Amino acid sequence: MAANAQNPFITNQFTADPSARVFGDRVYVYPSHDIPCGPGRGRVGWFCMEDYHVFSSANLTDWTDHGVIVTQNKVPWVKPNSYSMWAPDCVFRNGKYYFYFPTTPRDTTMGKGFAIGVAVADRPTGPFVPQAQPIAQVHGIDPNVFIDKDGQAYLYWSQGHIYGAKLKENMLELASAPQTLGELPTKGLKEGPYLFERQGTYYLTYPHVANKTERLEYATSRSPLGPFKVAGVIMDESPTGCWTNHQSIAQFKNQWYLFYHHNDLSPAFDKNRSIRMDSLFFRPDGSIQKVTPTLRGVGLTDARQKIQLDRYSRLGSGASIAFLDTLNKFQGWKTVLANNQSWVQYNGVAFGKQVLKTATLRARATDAATVQLQLDGPAGPVVAQVAVPKGGQWREIKVPLTAFKPGTHALVAALKTNTSVELDWVKFE
């Protein structure tokens, strides 16, 4: 499968809490939409979310933003300007799409905290029509809906514990009393339930604070409401301290994927997050192999596209990553090579069979620099040599390829002069 969803894979806005669903031949991702708080908009230092977008892709490479599907002040029961549209989910049943979202109700007699609402649409991208009232008897956040093979639907949510209940056929009301899903860790916050079934095993996945910040864990059962047995860790805590993580797991074209989030575009404030995806694998006994987060993401990158080296697979000594524009982080990143030992490697570049003749590198250097493009690792064959002129401006420098090797290769950009250089992207034609 050819795909190159580098991480984070949505970079036009902040996104979090991705719920990925396969509807037909596309993957739809329903995330939360973080925005910076401001005067009269949310609470300083906290989550601020006023609406939801949906994104979709047929190849995990090209993502379409379908725009806003639900917004706080158009939901009749929501407290106006509460900016608390937290982690959602969406499922398909009997020709309709049901979008579940937690937020703050206007009616305080419902109790403190969050309620969970539903909006219904004929298409996965909406228009979604919100119900007049939230789901009765449900207080909490992070709704997740699972429909079992026998057609019974279940709603899961969190509020200190993780809860589950059967849903009625109408998908709008509970069909059984909420039940606490026990046998999960009792110490440390648990939230964000996401349940799926594979080969008769029900996997309940959830973020849990086992130490300082959330890591992704899972428990398994032979039935949707348990009893569950804690089974392991899917992803360790963020190495850079992003306090939350939030997952969904989906199979698309015979490959399983973990969707999660990190604060890539807002390293100094972890309530402005960005969604990511990486491949996920099961061991023969059904257990989940721990996923190491990557910048490279999933699938192959076509050599003719702009290859964003800063979403690297490996970095040599003296190589580092920085924002292209620290005042507008949505512009993305650059790779900085500091000396003649520095290199960056980007795996999974699909060169195809048709001979490519040139490489174009977007780069800049204060003093003249020479960059070699190599295949298959820092000791691999050189396919192009790029002279980056001095001057410090960004330039797109096109050079002939000295060799062409068909197929899929790791691409390396290595600095060969003792001057520093900054690289944005490279592409082949």
List active site positions: 17, 191
Specify the 3-state DSSP secondary structure of 204. strand
Q: For residue 143, what are the CA distances in angstroms to 31, 116, 146, 246?
A: 12, 7, 10, 12
- Minimal distance in Å, beta carbon 281 to ligand FUB? 24
Shorter beta-carbon distance to ligand FUB: residue 17 or 278? 17
How many other C-beta atoms can be found within 10 angstroms of the C-beta atom of residue 374? 20
- Minimal distance in Å, beta carbon 88 to ligand FUB? 9
Shorter beta-carbon distance to ligand FUB: residue 244 or 335? 244
What's the count of helices (H) and strands (E) in the chain, helices before strands?
0, 31
- Minimal distance in Å, beta carbon 157 to ligand FUB? 10
Distance of alpha carbon 296 from alpha carbon 31, whole angstroms: 21
Structure tokens at 114: 């969050």
The footprint of ligand FUB (CB under 6 A) covers 16-17, 32, 47, 86-87, 141-142, 191-192, 244, 246
Strands (E), 72-160: 89-93, 96-103, 115-121, 129-130, 141-147, 153-159
Specify the 3-state DSSP secondary structure of 237. coil
Shorter beta-carbon distance to ligand FUB: residue 102 or 348? 102
Shorter beta-carbon distance to ligand FUB: residue 192 or 348? 192
CA-based end-to-end distance of the chain: 21
Shorter beta-carbon distance to ligand FUB: residue 185 or 318? 185
Of 282, 278, 334, nearest in space to 309 by CA: 334
Distance of alpha carbon 294 from alpha carbon 288, whole angstroms: 17
Q: For residue 247, what are the CA distances in angstroms to 8, 46, 195, 414?
A: 14, 20, 10, 36
Distance of alpha carbon 363 from alpha carbon 146, whole angstroms: 48
- Minimal distance in Å, beta carbon 153 to ligand FUB? 21
Of 122, 9, 11, nearest in space to 69 by CA: 122
- Minimal distance in Å, beta carbon 17 to ligand FUB? 5
- Minimal distance in Å, beta carbon 49 to ligand FUB? 7
Of 286, 255, 205, 280, nearest in space to 22 by CA: 255
Backbone angles phi, psi at 137, to 5 degrees: 75, 5
Within the chain, what is the greatest distance between any pair of CA atoms?
Answer: 73
Shorter beta-carbon distance to ligand FUB: residue 61 or 244? 244
Shorter beta-carbon distance to ligand FUB: residue 113 or 286? 113
- Minimal distance in Å, beta carbon 402 to ligand FUB? 49
374 half-sphere exposure, CB direction, 13 A CA radius: 19
Specify the 3-state DSSP secondary structure of 43. coil
- Minimal distance in Å, beta carbon 158 to ligand FUB? 8
Shorter beta-carbon distance to ligand FUB: residue 32 or 248? 32
Q: Which residue is listed with tokens 């960005």?
A: 274
* 131 within 8 A of 119, measured Cβ to Cβ: yes
